Structure 1
Amino acid sequence: MTTGIEDYGRRFGQAVAAELRAARGRKDITLEALAEMVGLSRSAATNYLKGRREIPMSTFLALCRALDVSPREVFQAAQDAIEQ
């Protein structure tokens, strides 16, 4: 059984991943190119961007830099998405 905060954390993490995927699409960057830019394997990048694994903060920041998006924008978009 998950608590409310665990459920919120899971949904927030998935919303962050979705926003990073959207940013990748807007920048028209392949998954392979993004993974290389931040020093990840393709499978790790896939797992992070599909919300299958929690994104470590250092990796999140590297992804934001590579995608030229501010962490605040990503967090705000994720928050907005789960509040709908």
Structure 2
Amino acid sequence: MTTYGDLFESAMVTQLKVELAERDWEQKDLAEKISVNRVTMSNYMTGKRSIPMPTFLKIAEALGIAPGTLMDRADARVRPTTDAE
């Protein structure tokens, strides 16, 4: 069974990809901005590793988005799935 947490993590990765595309950034650009190794960033963006909260906060800051707004956008991607259940 897939949990809300699993769905949310996947939705957050999708949202981050959207945010990067809107800025014409690549993963490496974000990695540089928050001082994270490229491989680590790749692991976050492929779902191999969860994004730690301090890193998430740095990501939101680098993107110029309030952390809560970023979370709300990811949650909105999950809600149509969880509301149907």
Preserved CA contact (<8 Å) 1:48 1:54: yes
For 2:58, which of 59, 62, 71 is the aligned residue?
Answer: 62
Instruction: Tell me the distance in 2 between the aligned counterparts of 1:51 and 1:21.
Output: 12
The Cα RMSD (Å) is 1.5
Q: What are structure 1's unaligned runs of at least 5 residues?
A: none
Match for residue 27 of structure 2 among 25, 28, 31: 31
TM-score with structure 2 length normalisation?
0.83
Partner of 2:83: none
* Count of aligned positions: 80
SS at match of 2:71: helix
Amino acid at match of 2:34: V
What's the offset of the Cα at 1:15? Answer: 0.8
Structure 2 letter corresponding to 1:52: K
**How far apart, in 2, do the equivalents of 1:30 and 1:13 lie?**
19
Q: Calculate the TM-score normalised by the size of structure 1.
A: 0.84
For 1:41-56, list aligned pairs within 5 A: 41-56=37-52
Tell me which residue corresponds to 2:72: 76
3-state SS of paired residue (2:29)? helix
